[in-house]
Structure 1
Amino acid sequence: MASLDDTEDVALDFGSEDDWRRKRAIRYPAAAFFHLFFRVGALVSYLFCNFYSSSFIVDFVVILFFVSLDFWTVKNVTGRLLVGLRWWNHIDEDGTSHWVYESRKGSKKNTETATESRLFWLGLVICPILWVIFVFANLFSFRFAWMVVSLVALVLSVANLFGYVRCKVSSRKQLSTMATQFLGQQMMSRAMASATATGTGTTQG
């Protein structure tokens, strides 16, 4: 049986070829646009669906279309380009499921800008909050069909949010581990140098 707890935290050198873009506040305007476009499209379709259709099926398909495109775009494109993070899943030959959380190599200065980071995380956090509100609003008004729609949108939004938060935490752990290893190596080098100097002095004496 596949285990969903089997995770891998890796740092890959993807996107490092885009050095010429680093001086721009928003290096990928198309990615930034679509990061918000599909999310806003799903919300607008949900809020104003009664104005363009009286059929629940049509409304459901339109909203699901926007939500699905948003999930795929954020998971596979905008996270990698805007903040240098990516998460995905693969299954081994024996059926074991592995969740992989990747962070782009290099310092934050070289992998993202403040504008891109702010836009990415605000869009990633605000939308799930709104869908939670819609879920409870439908629950208390007994609109169970619409509650299903908002639940689907909420689950997909939260999945991306969780994946990228996990990537962010993993990248910080990697930096901490690297710093600890560096300090350990420095201390070991100094200890070895001190021991060597002491041994040399004793021999000469």
Structure 2
Amino acid sequence: MFRQDSQGEVPLFHEDENASSKSNIKHPLACFFHLFFRTSAIMIYLFCEFLSLSFIANMVTIILLLSSDFWTVKNVTGRLLVGLRWWNQVNEDGSSHWMFESRTEGSKSIISSSESKIFWFGLIVCPVFWVFFMFSTLLAFNIKWLAVVIMGAVLQWANLYGYVRCKIGGGSKLKNMATNYFGLQLFKKVVNKPDRP
């Protein structure tokens, strides 16, 4: 379910509408931590044998970094850098609903293009690394690391999926985009089909 701010003039997220900054990066600390936890987990995974010989210490460090990254991106940097958030709401009857939310059109002018690029770059590139690590772990039969790389891939892709759904506007808009794309492709094939004698 997609939900936008229904209060009109009042911003959904706590923000100062009149805030101005000379820099394009208005939230440098959020940008830093958006990339810090993700890249640190990848670096420790790559160089863990040089840092510590203990598999448990390396595994716990990577899992803590991945968990910190998931929480930070989901609850802080998504709101500050791009004005998006998502969560799962459980009703009293036990049913759950995924909620996807974005800022109102009027308050979207606050979003810095530099911060948005940093956010989406980190959100898209890092999950690709974890999927690569997962396949390389499987091919090398390095089973002890399989749980760690699967956790990395799942947490990174969950945030990516949630924010793509927020950006697109929920399932109905995504479905309409796919239908329009495939309809256009089919139309092009029919129009470009050469007539046979």
Shorter-chain TM-score above 0.5: yes
AA aligned to 2:38 is R
Off by >4 Å, runs of 4+ in structure 1: none
Return the offset for 1:21.
3.8
Which structure features the higher share of helix residues? Answer: 1
CA distance in 1, matches of 2:162, 2:110: 18
Aligned residues: 166
Number of the residue aligned with 2:120: 121
Number of the residue aligned with 1:140: 139
Number of the residue aligned with 2:74: 75
- CA separation of 1:136 and 1:123: change in aligned 2, threshold 3 A: same
Following superposition of structure 1 onto structure 2, how do residues 15-164 of structure 1 map, counting pairs within 5 Å? 15-21=14-20, 24-107=23-106, 110-164=109-163
1:158-204 Cα distance to aligned partner (Å, 9 max, x none): 0000000000000895xxxxxxxxxxxxxxxxxxxxxxxxxxxxxxx
Which is greater in Rg? 1
Return the offset for 1:24.
3.5
Return the offset for 1:106.
2.4
Query: Does the Cα contact within 8 Å between 1:104 and 1:111 map onto a contact in 2?
Result: no
Return the offset for 1:112.
1.2
Q: Alignment partner of 1:20: what SS?
A: coil
Query: Does the Cα contact within 8 Å between 1:22 and 1:110 map onto a contact in 2?
Result: no
AA aligned to 1:146 is W
Return the offset for 1:145.
1.4
- CA separation of 1:162 and 1:84: change in aligned 2, threshold 3 A: same
Return the offset for 1:109.
5.2
Number of the residue aligned with 1:192: none
1:126-154 Cα distance to aligned partner (Å, 9 max, x none): 00001111111110000011122111000
1:64-101 Cα distance to aligned partner (Å, 9 max, x none): 01000000000000000000000011111100101100
The sequence identity of aligned pairs, in percent, is 50
AA aligned to 1:141 is A
* 2:4 aligns with one of 4, 7, 11: 11
CA distance in 2, matches of 1:109, 1:164: 16
Return the offset for 1:11.
1.3
Q: Which runs of 5+ in 1 are unaligned?
A: 1-7, 174-205
AA aligned to 2:117 is R
Query: Does the Cα contact within 8 Å between 1:82 and 1:117 map onto a contact in 2?
Result: yes
Q: With the length of structure 2 as denominator, give the TM-score of the two structures.
A: 0.79
Q: Alignment partner of 2:3: what SS?
A: strand
